[in-house]
Structure 1
């Protein structure tokens, strides 16, 4: 697909989300949906410095032991205590840069053709949300980079987690991770925003901890303003948002041999679409 065709498709997609969504005030009532966007069609890591500038801070790359969250305890509240997590689970989120990952994917046959079409038309073209379609796509593993986004005081406000295919260097995911409390919520959620040109896809994940110390992160269905997936677009000088019928579940746990693993299930409404499995290992110290 050429640049002109891609631009036309992206514009039409934004118009569609505008039509099914609602107008939102990202500087006021709906500030909980304010998140990074990409100013161009190719996402990559270009949004990082824009987000740091919005916060009056900076992007810090190469921070030893950088994590998606500076302290998982920021999620503490009724029904969740970071202190109950297995040490390895907590270490992964607080020191993500210290971990290496291997990935396996399994698509439901019914959804594979649609996933391939979306990957070709959008994911691989823009370098964002390019879910691996075949086992060989991730046979050599996935590399990740954590960029800390700090405010003017040097406090971590968010983290960019950029994942690329080790074999080709192509972007798979480029996300902004933080903790964020939804309106009326009893405790914070894990907030992930995936920038797109003049918009983004956002997921609010509710954390829970099992007696064995494993972590569950879930984005269920529900009303606007609760945990789940959202699409936000900029169009005509205004912003619009809609809930997306995408539901995710992550289970971060230790297996019987003490290896840290993550099962990631993605559903469309109630239908299983794809499962990703991650094996997480501490990086060798130099």
Structure 2
């Protein structure tokens, strides 16, 4: 597992001070980590500039000695069964869900968002002050933000042996072209875990946000992915920063995704994001196969 997927970034302007202040905060809350040793499981792309978008994708492939590929058929996971292990078998999940993960580029997405009214103003501030500006993690805060839909592009990141190391899933607002999410998707086994989790990293300048989601098969053929509260080294959300060394902290962000096929054979996803025990936002995705 390559660990040199990050470079120090230049700082400039008042927004750079704001971003650096955020990194200093997470450094203070976190612990020193060694990405070349015991904490290699937290290795993930970082970016070299304040505007994220898709700029990190080519950098990651270059660091691997590999290349990128946009073939119109790319999936977040090259083979969904890579998640198999004690308590989970990909074969028990509905074929449409498996197809979505293996051929994500074939699927079109519609999104609805509903925020907790108490937290919505804070979410809008974060989205405008950080998300929209840096083109990363700009979660929609108003229903009309996604009224015209969201475009989805998958770029396969291949290593030096031409195998899929990860997939970049780039989601933009169809109306404006602004990035909502720019994530690096793969499967990864945490220390001491009995099977792989879905690993998602959102690159930032000199850092990233990472989420480890544990898969569970549901009785109706559905799939649940969850990042519950827990100890450092277990499934959940992490913030990693490079600020006078490399530091990582668990973040009080907990997510669940429930993918299912409804009575009309439409693939849907219910996504719940919590801050601690409080539900911050609920999102619903309607996924339609193209062609």
TM surpasses 0.5: yes
Structure 2 partner of 1:269: 276
Query: Where do 1:124-273 residues align within 5 Å?
Result: 124-236=132-244, 238-273=245-280
Rounded Cα–Cα distance in structure 1 between residues aligned with 2:76 and 2:57: 14
Map 1:29-68 onto structure 2 (within 5 A): 29-61=38-70, 63-68=71-76
Match of 1:102 in 2: 110
1:89 matched to 2:97: yes
3-state SS, counterpart of residue 91 of structure 2:
helix
Cα deviation code 1:147-181 (max 9, x no counterpart): 00011111111000000000010000000000000
Which residue of the partner structure matches residue 4 of structure 2? none
Structure 2 equivalent of residue 281 of structure 1: 288
Task: Give a deviation string over 1:158-217, Cα, whole Å, max 9, x none.
Answer: 000000000010000000000000001000000000000000000000000012110000
What CA distance in whole angstroms lies between the structure 1 residues aligned with 2:66 and 2:134?
27
Q: TM-score, normalised by structure 1?
A: 0.97
Q: Secondary structure at the match of 1:172?
A: strand
Rounded Cα–Cα distance in structure 1 between residues aligned with 2:217 and 2:102:
16
5+ unaligned residues in a row in structure 2: which ranges?
1-11
SS at match of 1:163: strand
**C-alpha distance in structure 2 between counterparts of 1:263 and 1:55, whole Å:** 34
Tell me the distance in 2 between the aligned counterparts of 1:56 and 1:82. Answer: 31
1:28 corresponding residue in structure 2: 37
Q: Aligned Cα RMSD in Å?
A: 0.8
State how 1:9-24 maps to structure 2 within 5 Å. Answer: 9-24=18-33
1:104 is displaced (CA, Å) by 0.3
- Structure 1 unmatched ranges of 5 or more: none
CA shift, 1:54, in A, is: 2.0
2 CA distance for matches of 1:190 and 1:274? 21
Q: For 2:279 and 2:213, locate their aligned partners in 1 and report how far apart those are by CA, in whole Å.
A: 18
* SS state at 1:128 partner: coil
**TM, length-normalised to structure 2:** 0.95
Measure the CA separation in 1 of the matches of 2:72 and 2:227: 30
2 CA distance for matches of 1:43 and 1:49?
12
Number of residue pairs the alignment of both structures matches: 280
- Tell me how far apart the structure 1 counterparts of residues 284 and 168 of structure 2 sit (CA, whole Å): 21
